[in-house]
Amino acid sequence: MRLSRSFVPTLKETPAEAQIASHRLMLRAGLIRQTASGIYAWLPVGLRVLNNIATIVRQEQAVAGAQEVLMPTLQTADLWRESGRYDAYGPEMLRIRDRHERDLLYGPTNEEVITDLARNAIKSYRELPQILYQIQLKFRDEMRPRFGVMRGREFLMKDGYSFDLDYAGAVNSYRRMMLCYMRTFQRMGVRAIPMVADTGPIGGDLSHEFIVLAPTGESQVYYDSTLEEMDYLKSDFSYESPADLAAFHELINTYYAATEEKHDDTRWASVEPARRREGRGIEVGQIFYFGRKYSEALKFAVAGPDGKTITPEMGSYGIGVSRLVGAIIEASHDEAGIKWPKAVAPFPAAILNLRVGDERCDRLCETAYAAFAGNALLDDRDERAGAKFADADLMGHPWQIIVGPRGAANGMVELKRRADGARSELSLENALAQILE
Ligand code: 5CA
């Protein structure tokens, strides 16, 4: 992306409406703009981050055996009348009437629609288990939308749903998703801690929230630091082995982790003091087991091996895809701006041309830019060096390749690592090798 021709409306001033760092930085770095209260447009750089997060989610869902679908944002009210949630959901649900006076709603979650799809298509025990998911916009008419994409009204969610023949199968699917979530968040460069949670309007009796520690989080949390040190990507637990998944769940439950509501002083006191972590946390995902709540209400049954019908057991699994962009920034920034973890960064590097029009600088920058095949940000604006440095720090690309006339005369560039500010002077070739390694 050539900055001189890009739609990246950065701001020098701190927007007055933004109370927390991630919201301020997302506006200042030109990632998003609000179009109505709690409703945001994603601009080119912000959308790249959102897509990177979605790609990691998709890859890890596939490894765990979940299949992607895409359901509509608009749902018929009839399905929600069948489940009994149409009245129960209250003013958070955006209700709409079409030209034929039919009641529709903008989906805040999709248990009803997915159960309807399943009951119309799945007839035999042989077709289960199944895990289906989508990445789709949701709408919740939050009383107080705030903190930018962190609590929006329209937001992007990964919502997944499992169907199993019995309790043991449903718990296995639940554990499968739990392992999948630990891998997913670790790959994004954040540590989300699973904590036993209340089930709220989704219902059911087993639930975990996944929480990222950040000072501006909405809930107070307590956990054993062992949970953030484990390497879930290198672990040997196999998705195909129920015994492995049970052992994984057992391992997670061994270590203390609780939100304020579930906090237990006695158990907390038994955690080694050096391992106690407490602070505010942001919920980036939640998983639920709720048995036959929706399959029973919507009369979803399949023929069993002995001819008797079986009502499947279900669970649902959410990730706040758009909220994660804010949560990652909350966990990774400084006064100058964002520090993107490599895996989700909009670009691996920014190339800063400090003397646009200087033949050597221009040539070296073009060579560098070509090496990334468009997947870098080239600051080719006619701006002061200071403004370029400030914007590169603000936007937070993991690396900056700084090209000035003195170095360029000898084919040298300066390489700056955003994470710790470390700088070195080296040939463009060596700089590229370091970034692309
Ligand atoms: N049906 C289930 C799981 S598929 C469900 O709706 N779960 S949820 O209510 O917990 O939402 C899933 C995730 O969406 C949450 O963990 C949170 O990260 C994100 N989320 C919820 N509300 C908002 C909101 N108003 N703005 C941004 N993200 C949100």
Alpha carbons 437 and 424: distance in angstroms, whole number? 17
Provide mean pLDDT across the span 44-73. Answer: 98
Pocket test for ligand 1, best of 174, 221, 284, 286 (most atoms within 8 A of CB): 286
Instruction: Select the more confidently predicted residue: 203 or 327.
Output: 327
Angle 170-174-176 from CA coordinates, rounded to 5° = 115
Provide mean pLDDT across the span 142-157. Answer: 96
Q: Is the pLDDT of residue 201 over 90?
A: no
3-state helix, strand, coil in the chain (%, to 5): 40, 30, 35
Q: Hey, how many other C-beta atoms are within 10 angstroms of the C-beta on 123? A: 11
pLDDT computed for residue 340 by the predictor? 98
Contacts 24+ apart (CB under 8 A), 46-50: 46/325, 46/346, 48/346, 48/347, 49/325, 49/340, 49/344, 49/345, 49/346, 50/156, 50/321, 50/322, 50/325
Q: What is the DSSP string of 392-412?
A: HHHHT-SEEEEE-HHHHTTTE
Provide mean pLDDT across the span 69-94. Answer: 97
Alpha carbons 216 and 326: distance in angstroms, whole number? 11
The pLDDT-based confidence of 203 (bands split at 50, 70, 90) is low
Find tokens 């609000």 and name the residue: 34
Q: Is the pLDDT of residue 205 over 70?
A: no
The pLDDT-based confidence of 25 (bands split at 50, 70, 90) is very high
- Nearest residue to 345 (alpha-carbon basis) of 53, 35, 38: 53
Surface-to-core class of residue 395, CB atoms within 10 Å of its CB (0-12 exposed, 13-18 middle, 19+ buried): buried
Q: Measured from the CB, is residue 286 less than 6 Å from ligand 1? A: yes
Q: Measured from the CB, is residue 296 less than 6 Å from ligand 1? A: no
Tokens of 90: 């209250």
Alpha carbons 74 and 77: distance in angstroms, whole number? 9
In ligand 1, the atom with minimum distance to the C-alpha of 140 is 25
Task: For residue 327, report the distance from its CA to the centre of ligand 1, in Å.
Answer: 13
Q: What is the DSSP string of 103-124?
A: EEEE-S--HHHHHHHHHHH--B
The pLDDT-based confidence of 202 (bands split at 50, 70, 90) is low
Task: For residue 367, report the distance from its CA to the centre of ligand 1, in Å.
Answer: 44
Residue located nearest, by CA, to atom 23 of ligand 1: 151
With beta carbons less than 8 A apart as the criterion, state whether 368 and 413 touch.
Answer: yes
pLDDT computed for residue 357 by the predictor? 97
Alpha carbons 190 and 412: distance in angstroms, whole number? 34
Angle 291-238-324 from CA coordinates, rounded to 5° = 65
Mean pLDDT of the residues in the chain: 96
Find tokens 């109505």 and name the residue: 36
pLDDT computed for residue 200 by the predictor? 72
With beta carbons less than 8 A apart as the criterion, state whether 170 and 291 touch.
Answer: yes
Task: For residue 430, report the distance from its CA to the centre of ligand 1, in Å.
Answer: 44
Q: Measured from the CB, is residue 139 less than 6 Å from ligand 1? A: no
Question: What's this model's pTM, rounded to 2 decimal places?
Answer: 0.96
With beta carbons less than 8 A apart as the criterion, state whether 216 and 330 touch.
Answer: yes
User: 405 preceded by cis ω (within 30°)?
Assistant: no
Q: Is the pLDDT of residue 206 over 90?
A: no
For 176-199, write each residue's pLDDT tens digit: 999 999 999 999 999 999 998 877
Question: Helices marked H in 232-283 — which ranges?
Answer: 242-254, 265-269
Question: Helices marked H in 298-417 — which ranges?
Answer: 321-331, 359-371, 385-395, 405-408
Q: Is the pLDDT of residue 277 over 70?
A: yes
Alpha carbons 39 and 333: distance in angstroms, whole number? 24
Q: Measured from the CB, is residue 157 less than 6 Å from ligand 1? A: yes
pLDDT exceeding 70 applies to what percent of the chain? Answer: 99
For 220-267, write each residue's pLDDT tens digit: 999 999 999 999 999 999 999 999 999 999 999 999 999 998 999 999
Task: For residue 231, report the distance from its CA to the centre of ligand 1, in Å.
Answer: 26
Q: Measured from the CB, is residue 152 less than 6 Å from ligand 1? A: yes
Strand extents, DSSP E, 141-201: 154-164, 192-196
Q: For 82, list phi and psi in degrees, rounded to 5.
A: -65, -40
pLDDT exceeding 90 applies to what percent of the chain? Answer: 93
With beta carbons less than 8 A apart as the criterion, state whether 380 and 430 touch.
Answer: no
Alpha carbons 199 and 159: distance in angstroms, whole number? 15
pLDDT computed for residue 216 by the predictor? 87
Q: Measured from the CB, is residue 321 less than 6 Å from ligand 1? A: no
Task: For residue 137, report the distance from its CA to the centre of ligand 1, in Å.
Answer: 11
pLDDT computed for residue 204 by the predictor? 66
Q: What is the DSSP string of 195-220?
A: EE---GGG--SEEEEEEEE-TT-SEE
Q: How far is CA 321 from the centre of its chain?
A: 3
| CB-facing half-sphere around the CA of 230: CA atoms within 13 A | 20
